[in-house]
Amino acid sequence: MSKNLSELSGRKALDKNLFEELGIAAKQTGTPSAEKMEELANEFIMGKANIYGTASFYDFLRPENQGKKVYVCNGSACLTAGTQTKLKHELGKQYKADEIGEMCCLGRCHENNAFHTNGKNYSGDAINDILNIKNKKAIVADRYIVSSKGSEILTSVFPGVDEYYKTLQTILKSSTDELLNEIKLSGLRGRGGAGFPIAFKIESAKNTINKQKFIVCNADEGDPGAYSDRYLLEHQTHSVLLGMMITGYIMGANKGVLYIRAEYPESIEITQKAIDDIRNKKLLGEKILGSDFNFDFKIISAQGAYICGEETALLSSIEGQRPEVRIRPPYPTQQGLFNKPTVVNNVETLANLPFIIKNGGKAFAAIGTQRSSGTKLISLDGHFKNPGIFEVDMGTPLSIVINDLGGGFRKPVKAMHIGGPLGGLVPVSKIKDLTLDFDSFAKEGFLLGHASIVCIPDEYPLIKYIEHLFKFTAHESCGKCFPCRLGSTRGYEMIEKAQNEDYKIDITLMNDLLETLETGSLCALGGGLPLPVKNAMKYFENELSPYFKK
């Protein structure tokens, strides 16, 4: 991260955004032209190498993307469902081989068969109507179960804009200290994976003096298997927007940025419409509802990079820099977007704030457990009889989620990857020992994370799944630290060699590699990869033994 480049990018603030301009330039051909990149370099007073370095990083900006017309999802849920080979074959009847690319992940984990074309996502039986889809004569909407067991905070019925934003009137009459205290009382911890208390971030930014501050919604839900953020953006949009406004009011920010993944085109459209709706109601802009509070939103469409789920890489991305992880301190709350104080929180975290402010922090804290308050959204993949989004109180037994809500498995499953690619690999024998909360998962050696569940059926080779995780990390690494950049590649090479050659992996070498990744990586991408691999080696030793030296 270059502070100078942050300042140069920030000269135009968000009015004309460098990263957004690169995306616009790539729309027609799939990659920005050399002439356009040079033009942007001159306009933003940056080197051509900086602009090219940024564009060549992203899946949907790099030259290899040129000419692609349809993309096949290569996420973990579609992989273990075994649907994508046949899907690609069917698409090959309508598109040339060099017109077919890949995306990860489209958030259609509930029914798989997922692909993207003409700016829309499709899944399930949509492939059967591919000719009409290709000719833009059909739009097939996805459907999935949305239900809850316990409190309904994030799955309640939306009462309409006028009724919902009455809370904003109360907020603007309250002191920022009072509101912050309610959030502290709630005990709300970040729902993006780390479980960090949101009140700490808001207070830190609030106490940092600067005329310009930002609240950024991390909607780059890149964890394959997770689609809870997509659900919120498309069906509970205003809970996210009001949550950002509450945060902005408390910390003194007048600008909210929603960084939404390009793989979720419907989320971008729906969120923009919701912003337009509240702007038409005079609930955005200058002196909102007669107060001194000024606030507005900006949507930034991401361009395909899992690492942007890491908050500092996300900030570099918005600035038009390569999305490399930043060394901390300084923390974003002191020096974030364009070097200004910034709070970054994920979609589900922000969506809880309207309930907390309306009902009080103690009401939220009374739900769940002492250290994991509130509810959690769970994403169940297509291996369940009832795939969909379920909201449960923190502390709910995992067995209830699997058997009662999910209806059990469609076919025998040996393990579940819970919490994204960096989450724990949970054998089905451990279901009875886990409850849905941060502490229970940590105690058993797993990670709750995003709480997405990707099932690994009995017939799916676990060695193939581990290979997938190493390959995924190698592809998505920002490259800044060598433990992640090199370690993930070496892991993938060893796993691949053990399957295809007369070679067995030295267990000591593998453990050393995992320890280096875990302790030496700058962020959770390299640092989190060892967890599911270690889980696999511990609980599935017999299945993996043919690939390791005894």
Whether 151 maps to a domain, the answer reads no
Same domain, 251 and 394: no
CA-wise closest residue to 270 among 314, 244, 235, 227? 235
Domain ends where: 427, 450, 473?
450
Please say which residue of 450, 475, 507 terminates a domain.
Answer: 450
Residue 355 maps to a domain:
yes
CATH code for the domain of 446 = 3.10.20.600
Number of domains in the chain: 5
Cis peptide before 546 (omega within 30 of 0): no
Task: State residue 11's pLDDT score.
Answer: 83
For 309-346, the DSSP string reads: GSHHHHHHHHTTS--PPPPSSSPTTTS-GGGS-EEEEE
* Residue 125 within a domain: yes
Q: Is residue 515 part of a domain?
A: yes
- pLDDT score, position 12: 76
* Residue 205: C-alpha distances to residues 209, 218, 255, 296 (Å): 8, 17, 14, 18
Q: In this structure, what are the phi and psi dihedrals at residue 424, rounded to the nearest 5 degrees? A: -80, 150
Let me know whether 536 and 466 are in one domain.
Answer: yes
Query: The domain containing residue 239 runs over which residues?
Result: 156-363
- DSSP codes joined into one string, 437-500: SHHHHHHTT---TT-EEEEEETTS-HHHHHHHHHHHHHHH--SSSHHHHHHHHHHHHHHHHHHH
**Are residues 358 and 336 both part of a single domain?**
yes
The reply to whether 385 and 494 lie within a common domain is: no
pLDDT value at residue 65 = 84
Q: pLDDT tens for the chain, 550 residues: list them.
A: 567 888 878 787 788 899 999 999 988 788 899 999 999 999 999 999 999 999 999 988 988 888 899 999 999 999 999 999 999 999 999 999 999 999 989 999 999 999 999 999 999 999 999 999 999 888 888 899 999 999 999 999 999 999 999 999 999 999 999 999 999 999 999 887 777 899 999 999 999 999 999 999 999 988 889 999 999 999 999 999 999 999 999 999 999 999 999 999 999 999 999 999 999 999 999 999 999 999 999 999 999 999 998 999 999 999 999 999 998 899 999 999 999 999 999 999 999 999 999 999 999 999 999 999 999 999 999 999 999 999 999 999 999 999 999 999 999 999 999 998 999 999 999 999 999 999 999 999 999 988 999 999 999 999 999 999 999 999 999 999 999 999 999 999 999 999 999 999 999 999 999 999 999 999 999 999 999 999 999 999 999 999 999 7
| 455 part of a folded domain | no
Choosing from 301, 329, 363, the residue where a domain stops is: 363
Contact present, 404 and 149 (Cβ < 8 Å): yes
Cβ pair 253, 215 in contact under 8 A: yes
Q: Do 265 and 324 fall into the same domain? A: yes
Which residues face 301 on adjacent strands? 260
* Co-location of 268 and 408 in the same domain: no
Residues 299 and 392 reside in one and the same domain: no
C-alpha 170/C-alpha 458 separation (Å) is 54
Same domain? 29 vs 117 = no
Query: Cα(227)–Cα(112) distance, rounded to whole angstroms?
Result: 12
Q: Does a structural domain hold residue 456?
A: no
> Considering the domain boundaries, does residue 457 fall inside one?
no
Q: Is residue 149 part of a domain?
A: no
pLDDT (0 to 100) of residue 195: 78
Q: Give the 3-state secondary structure of residue 44.
A: coil
CATH number at residue 23: 1.10.10
Three-class SS of residue 85?
Answer: helix
Domain CATH for 501: 1.20.1440.230
* 185 and 320 fall within a common domain: yes
Q: How far apart are CA 452 and CA 450, in angstroms?
A: 6
* pLDDT of res. 294: 97
407, 498: one domain: no
Please tell me whether residues 132 and 274 are part of one structural domain.
Answer: no
Name which of 136, 99, 107, 138 is nearest 123 in CA terms. 107
315 and 389 fall within a common domain: no
Residues 470, 495 contacting (CB under 8 angstroms): yes
Residue 173, classed as helix, strand or coil, is coil
- Which pTM was predicted? 0.95
C-alpha dihedral sign at 465, 478, 523, 255: negative
Determine contact, residues 77/92, Cβ cutoff 8 Å.
no
